[in-house]
Copies of this chain bind each other. A is one copy, B any other.
Amino acid sequence: MTERLIDSLASTDALSAVFSDASLLAAMLEFEVALARVEAGRGVIPATAADAIAGAAVPDAFDAAAIAIRARASGTIAIPLVDALRARVRATNPAASTFVHWGATSQDVTDTAFVRCLVRANAILEPDHLRLVDALRRLSERHATTVMLARTLMQPAPPTTFGLKAAGWLGAARRSGAQLAASFEEACLLQFGGASGTLAALGAHGPEIAVALAQELGLRNTAAPWHVHRDRMASLVTACGVYTGVLGKIARDVTLLMQDEVAEAAEPGGTSSSMPQKRNPAGCAIALAAAVRVPGLVAAFLSGLPQEHERAVGGWHAEMPTVTAIVQATGAALAAIADAVEHLQVDADRMRANITATRGTVFAERAMTLLSPIVGRDEAATLIARAVEDARLGRQTFGAALSASTRDHAALAHVDLSDLDEPDAYLGAAEHFRRHLIDDE
C-alpha cells in the first residue's frame, strides 16, 4: 500500500523514490549480480552461473508486495527475494541456481542495498544543502546593516542585525551539513560477512571478494563486517537529528517574524482552505514537523544499538523504517527551508519600526553602561526605571525621558545621550561576528 498522503509533508518525491520498493529491489538485485560476477571472476562460482543470475535479476519480474508479506514469516526481505531470484534462475539454468547468493547472508544484501539507497539520498540532500548555505550567505550579506530587535525569551532586547541573525543560521547549517556529509561518507559501507561475519563459506577468498564487491558497487569496504556494530549508521542518523534541529531553529524564527504583529520577514507560504486572506508558513511547518519527529526517531535508532552477538533480534529489524523516516524528514525539511530562505521577504522598515515601537526601552542596558560607572548602579537604576516608566506610559521616549533627568544632574549632565535610542549606534560586535561566521568555512 502507499501512504503518500499521510507522509506528504514527511518526504519529498525524490527521496520517496529512493526508498521505494522499486529502488530497494533493484539495489538488492544489483548486490546479487555483483556478488556473482565477482565470485565468477575469481573462479569461486561458474561464469555461466553469474550470467544466468544477471539475466534473471530483472527488477520488474519481482513482486514486491509478495516479498513483503513473506518477509513477515522469515523476519527479512532477503529470504523471499533470494528465493524468487533462485526460482527465476532455475527456470533458465537449474545448475546456476545453486550459486545464487553464494557465501552471503540476508543481512549482507539488505544492509548493502539499503546503504546504496542512502548514497542516493545523500546525493539529493547535498544540492539542497549548498542551495541553503548559498541563500543564507547572500541573505546575510544583503542585510549586514539591517537593524532589528534581538529577542531573548521572546522579549525585546537591544538591537542586532538581520545580517547577524542570518549568519548565525548559516554557521549552524554549515557545521551540521558538513557533519552530515561526513557521516554519510563514514556510514555508506559494503556489508559482507556471510552467516557469522567470517565469510567462512568463501574459504580463503572472503576478503578479496569483499574488496572487489565493494569496488563493483561503488562503496567503501571496512576492516571487518559491521553487522552488529551500527555506530556509524547511528552517527548518520544523529547528524540528521542535529541538522533537522538547526533547520527547525530557522523555521521557528521565521514563523515568529512572520506573525502579523511582527511582520518582519515571511516565507512565500501557502494558502488556507477557509481563510482567503491568509498565507501560511507551509515550508516552516514542514521543517518544524521534522524537528518534532526526528529526535524521537533518533532515540529509536540509538536504543536498538545493543545488538545481540552476531546478528540482533529486533534491534536490527527496527532500523530500516527508522533510518528511512529520518533521512526523508531531514530532506523534506532541508528542501523546504532552502526554498523559504531563497524566497524570504524581509521588511527592513518594519524591523526598524518595531525597535522604535519599544519607545527606546530596549536601550536601558546601554543607559546603565553609560550612567552606572559615574553614579553607581543603584542610582543609575532608579533614573533608568523612571525613564522606562515614562516610555511605557507613552509620555516620551526612553532616551528623551532619561536625558531630561540627567540634564540637571551634576555628575551626569555631561553624558551625551543624544543617540541613546539609535539602534545603529548600539550594535557592538554584530558585524564583526557576522563576518567571522561568513568567513568561517
Contact = CB atoms under 8 A, between A and B. Distances in A.
A273 B155 contact: no
A428 B202 contact: yes
A297 B296 contact: yes
A241 B231 contact: no
Interface string A223-245: 11100111110110011011111
Given A7-B68, A153-B311, 19 more contacts: A1-B2, A5-B68, A6-B19, A6-B24, A74-B282, A75-B286, A160-B196, A164-B198, A195-B275, A198-B427, A201-B365, A246-B305, A280-B313, A281-B313, A288-B314, A295-B296, A295-B300, A296-B297, A297-B300
Contact of A12 (B72, B253, B296, B332): B72
B76 A278 contact: no
Given A152-B309, A234-B241, A258-B155, A289 B275 contact: no
Contacts of A3: 3, 16, 19-21, 321, 324
Contacts of A440: 223
A195 B152 contact: yes
A238 to B, nearest CB: 4
A251 B94 CA distance: 39
Contacts of A223: 171, 433, 436-437, 439-440
A25 B1 CA distance: 13
A67 to B, nearest CB: 7
A278 B157 contact: yes
Interface residues of A, number: 199
A172 B229 CA distance: 6
A57 interface: no
A29 to B, nearest CB: 12
Interface stretch (A102-110, A124-132, A341-349, A413-421): A102-110
A92 interface: no
A274 B313 contact: no
Interface in A313-334: 313-318, 320-322, 324-325, 332
Contact of A160 (B16, B197, B291): B197
Given A106-B272, A284-B313, A195 B297 contact: no
A8 B302 contact: no
Contacts of A36: none
- Which 5 residue pairs of A and B lie closest in terms of their CB atoms, listed nearest first? A288-B314, A245-B305, A296-B300, A200-B428, A150-B196
A9, A195, A298: most-surrounded residue (chain B CB, <10 A): A195
B167 A224 contact: yes
A261 to B, nearest CB: 4
Interface string A124-153: 000000000000000000000000001111
Nearest to A363: B277
A287 interface: yes
A71 interface: yes
A399 interface: no
A364 B196 CA distance: 13
B300 A200 contact: no
Contacts of A393: none
A332 B72 CA distance: 9
A284 B316 CA distance: 12
A253 B234 CA distance: 19
Contact of A9 (B71, B361, B385): B71
Given A159-B196, A305-B246, A168 B229 contact: yes
A20 B8 contact: no
A154 B313 contact: yes
Nearest to A94: B376
A288 B315 contact: yes
